[in-house]
Amino acid sequence: CVEPGNVVLVLGASGSGKTTLLRAVSGIGPLIYGAEVRGTVLVGGRDLWSLGLDGIRRSIQVVNQNPYTHFVEHVVGVDLANTAMSVHGRDAGERVFGKVVTMLGLEPLLRRRFFELSGGQLRRVAIAKAMLWDPKVLVLDEPLMWLDDDGLYEVREVLGVLRSVGKAVLV
């Protein structure tokens, strides 16, 4: 059980099922991989499958091990703004975009291209993209992989922000 404002860390050896668990609780196992999930996943007290695909996307967002998989546009601000407007419409999207950019301190990165970012900056932007959906739950698949000390610090800071705004986080 991951409560709002909590961060839960799942540890295990390589091949022990951490990513399989991620796929099961986020709904992507059956949707993308054709997997069978047994048991019930509740989000906000509701069965995950009762939410429908759009409801699942708005309730749970996954940030993959490889943050580059999240982006369509080359420029950080363009990608995030387009996503926010696609999800919420133009006016609300602009407000959500501004809120997430401010919350995660992304202003200095908005004009940069993704390939110019450090590992920590890239993870922070990938998490920001997930936050544009305003999900109840964020699932971060090995967010500290390949990061130096500065990158670890950046991700740790973002986890603190997510906790402070009441997001449930599964790492």
SS3 breakdown of the chain: % helix, strand, coil, rounded to 5?
Answer: 55, 10, 35
Q: What single letter denotes the amino acid at residue 21?
A: L
Hey, what are 1's tokens?
A: 């059980």
Instruction: Give catalytic residue positions.
Output: 142
Residue 164 identity (one-letter amino acid): S
Q: How far apart are CA 72 and CA 69, in angstroms?
A: 8
Residue type, position 120, single letter? G
Q: Report the C-alpha gap between 61 and 127 in whole angstroms.
A: 9
Angle at 20 between CA 16 and CA 22, to 5 degrees: 115
